[in-house]
Amino acid sequence: MGDTTVIPFFVQLDLITGKLSSFSERVVRRLSDLRGLVADEVALRRELEHGDRIVYEVFKINVPPIQGHLFFNVTVIHPGKIGEEYHFTKGHYHMNEQAAEIYIGVQGKGLLLMRSYNNFRVIEMQRGVLAYIPPGWGHRSVNVSHDPFVFLSIYPADAGYDYERIMREGMGKRVFATSNGQGYCIVDD
Ligand code: PAN
Ligand code: ZN
């Protein structure tokens, strides 16, 4: 029997801006949350002297975190760099190795970095791109534009998050601004 404790509901997603009409929780990640994850820790410390700015936010809609339910939420990565490295999410593997995920690009331009052992994939994200993250692939998103990069995520509510493995092993790729500040380059890490 399925879990019937939640009754059907909806929220309105603005397909141009990614703004949700309502959400249950707003998770804020700041510069200081990226300690140990950035290429240039000295640049990070320097930028922290000017304040602990918001790098990205996740607008979550809560449903029970159990098998059968789906989480869906909107991530906004604000434009910016730490040193020459574009703003990115911490990145994670799902604890539940059976859990896949779908990302849908809504606004701005980003990269979805994925890793499974020594296999690496990068998908360019923008409005209308539907990306599939298979079970077992670690994933991180990067904003490579001068506007907010916004995307929707949908995944099993019992997926769980393993951030430690990314801390230990990294994503294997990093994304930097090119010298004219307009483009990006993907570098092995
Ligand atoms: C996304 C991410 C979101 C924030 O909803 O959780 O973009 O990234 P971090 O969780 O790495 O901070 C997702 O992949 N959920 O499974
Ligand atoms: Zn995920």
Residue at 53 is within a domain = yes
Q: What domain range includes position 129?
A: 25-188
pLDDT of 116 above 90: yes
Interval 162-186 mean pLDDT: 95
Query: 57 CA to middle of ligand 2, Å?
Result: 14
> Could you give the angle at the alpha carbon of 51 between the alpha carbons of 50 and 53, nearest 5°?
120
Domain contains 19: no
DSSP string, 25-38: EEEEEEGGGGTTTS
C-alpha–C-alpha distance, residues 189 and 186, integer Å = 9
Instruction: Work out which ligand 1 atom sits closest to the CA atom of 133.
Output: 14
Q: What is the pLDDT of residues 124-151, one digit of tens each?
A: 999 999 999 999 999 999 999 999 999 9
Number of structural domains in the chain? 1
110 lines ligand 1 (CB under 6 A): no
pLDDT of residue 1: 56
Mean pLDDT of the chain: 96
134 sits in the region (left: phi over 0; alpha: psi -120 to 50; else beta) called beta
Q: Does residue 123 lie within any of the structural domains?
A: yes
Q: What is the pLDDT of residue 179?
A: 85
Domain-embedded: residue 5: no
Specify if 78 maps to a domain.
yes
The confidence score (pLDDT) of residue 3 equals: 72
For the domain that residue 176 is a member of, what is the CATH number? 2.60.120.10
Rounded to the nearest angstrom, the gap between the alpha carbon of residue 178 and the centroid of all alpha carbons in its chain is: 22
Is residue 1 domain-resident? no
Structural domain contains residue 124: yes
Ligand 1 touching residue 85 (CB < 6 A): no
